[in-house]
Structure 1
Amino acid sequence: MGITTRLRANVRAARELWQRLRQRHASTPTAARRLLAAVALRAYRRLAYAVNDGFLMRRASAPRFAAFQAGIAERLGGHFYVIVMPDTLHFLLPCLRLVAGRLPIVLLLNGARAWEAALLRQHFPDLPQFRVATLPRSSVNHGAMIDMMLRHNAHDFGILDHDLYLFDQRVLQELRFSDAEFLLCLLADSGPRWTYPLTHFLYFRAAAWQRLMRQYGVGAGIYRKVPAAARGQLRGAGLRDGETLKPYHDFYDTLHVLLALGYSEGMELVQFEFADGGVIHLGGTSIGSHHTKGMMDLYIHLLFLELAQVPELERRYAHLAAPFNNAGALRARLPQTPEVRRQLDLLDRLAGQLNGQALASRTGCSSASNCSTGSGGPNR
């Protein structure tokens, strides 16, 4: 991306950001203060990422994680990690209620506050927790988190997003690999050359990924250019210099260099297929600063606070959507465009399914789908 194109994109993003702030705050000075706070926080977090992903990961998080893994060795193998970000527990609690007891879950606290960890222990006392080292009010990049998991697992494992809701849990019976497979996923997109998985739900054949990392000296993070040790292998597979898996990116996204290397060696990705509604992913709930969230994001935040029915969360997270405090009232202010109506229909469906799941738990059904007619299971 050239300098002029990047500058135009930044100007356009700044205008959109200011429009969002003015929608949210009637007072121009209040909107301006929010903007300055967001800019300052973003600058700080960029610096913090460099420290968290580098020095603190090498000297603190990774060694402690290896020891932590040894301490829970009997619970590993087929396990899933859920990364716990700050200000996300109202999304995470219903996610965990769907899978806890059906999957071995390990919680990785990535910037989450002490009170959030304590609340999780109250609701899920049996789930192990590990906290990565971070500077205050910051987190570790997603790629560095996955890299840490890949380097310190002797068994196959998965990752599950905090805002992915797995209603059709028959996928959990399909978590096994054939000879050439090295990754299972629920959601994926296709680029010009290869399919790439979305990282919302992944299951790794750990030994295959670790071998690629050792052989080519490549990690799971983002790369601006293919590392020299991997360049010849990917050229031989037809990936030209500068060609990325996502055609709209000028960089290699999380896991993409390793993924391309696996493809170049004949390894295979498997995507599960589900009937409509079996898997719903919100996305974007932990990205950015609450200062700059748009109206739809604020509505989703308030909706899930009301769905969670946890008074402590309502009290501690109230400021995140200020000056709004009621999902219904905010919904009435949303523009009724086709895209907004599509999003609201999905949210209504998701809320209904989560409420149905809660009812099923109270009435003794093992799942909401067991209390009503369900859809077909996954296909491989």
Structure 2
Amino acid sequence: MAELSTALIHHPYVPPAGFAAPQPGVFKASTVLFPSVAAMRNFEWKDKTAYTYGLHGTPTTYMLEERLCTLEGGLQCVLVPSGLAAIANVALSLLRTGDEVLIPDNAYGPNKVLAEGELKNWGITHRFFDPMNPQDLAAKISSQTRLAWLEAAGSVTLEFPDLCEMVRVCKARGVLTALDNTWGAGLAFAPFDLTPGVSPALGVDISVHALTKYPSGGGDVLMGSVITRDASLHMKLKLTHMRLGLGVGANDAEAVLRALPSLALRYKAHDEAARELARWCQTRSEFVQVLHPALPDSPGHQHWRAVCQSGPGGAAGLFSVIFHPRYSQAQIDAFCDRLKLFGIGYSWGGPMSLVVPYELASMRSVWPPHLEQGTLVRFSVGLEAVADLQADLHQALQSVLT
């Protein structure tokens, strides 16, 4: 009879098949066992027909990838440890020494920093283009341009670009497009079908999503995804993903799988609350501009209406305000400190509302002509009662700025 330790490791019991529950099972593995040497040599992970090593996929990660494809309308997906890792996965898969990448000037800051750091060091050049001017994008495409990033809405300032025209410009010149779709979350619009009902479909080549935000929904998971519809493009992304050793933990994948069924409900609640607070902020004299794509006078509002799916269109729970220039940075920082329900912190998409003041001049090549002068503060609206959030904004304004 085997020793107890051996018997516990090699126990013969196998649970019966057929167990079903509302939530998918969680499979944790580095090592994956094969039934034979022949199977070990022949099993293929690239097409998800089998399992070879935990880093290349488990039933849990395969399940999450497939559900995210359904969410965004894609066909293939890879999971990475963060939204920034998703951006890096795209860049390292598609760009080589001598290539050029174009980035909107209002893009997610770390995307620009990646281009200015590692990509530049590897001989990959970059240029920033005006996110509200497709002609500027067209003018900056060169024979070395291989990739153009798009963002809708823009990070921090929330302009909504003419996404359709920018995709058309890039397709006409043979330039791949990658969209940071974190704001839209697969719900505000369909990244691979920007003009539903029109044939052929007009869409981006790649959709990158920081699952850290709305899909996770709890402010406690770091994860990203890269989704495509083109099989050959996906394989480039997947092989780089494999060579870099990128992977996600099973418990993090479980957390996102658990949150996905409530995603649409949460997104709608964040959206409605943000719109109500943004409209209230428009009545306040402390602000010279309120930025939210659903507001008729916000930059790119008509583009937002044209692209977003049904009715007035969906929008994330974000809005920004620009304070009147008469207020100093110290006063605005004090306003943020005075808030009781808005935590001071980066990211968004969780249950708690957040606030961050930004030094916009340091983030842009030039001050955008469509933005008023002043200090910008961005709010991420959580799931608290709108009346309580409005009262919190009011008391902070009254106590610090009057």
Q: Which one has more relative contact order, counting CA pairs under 8 Å at least 6 apart? A: 1
More helix by share: 1
Q: Which TM-score band applies after superposition, normalised by the shorter structure?
A: under 0.3
Question: Based on CA coordinates, which of the two structures has the bigger radius of gyration?
Answer: 2
TM-score (norm 2): 0.25
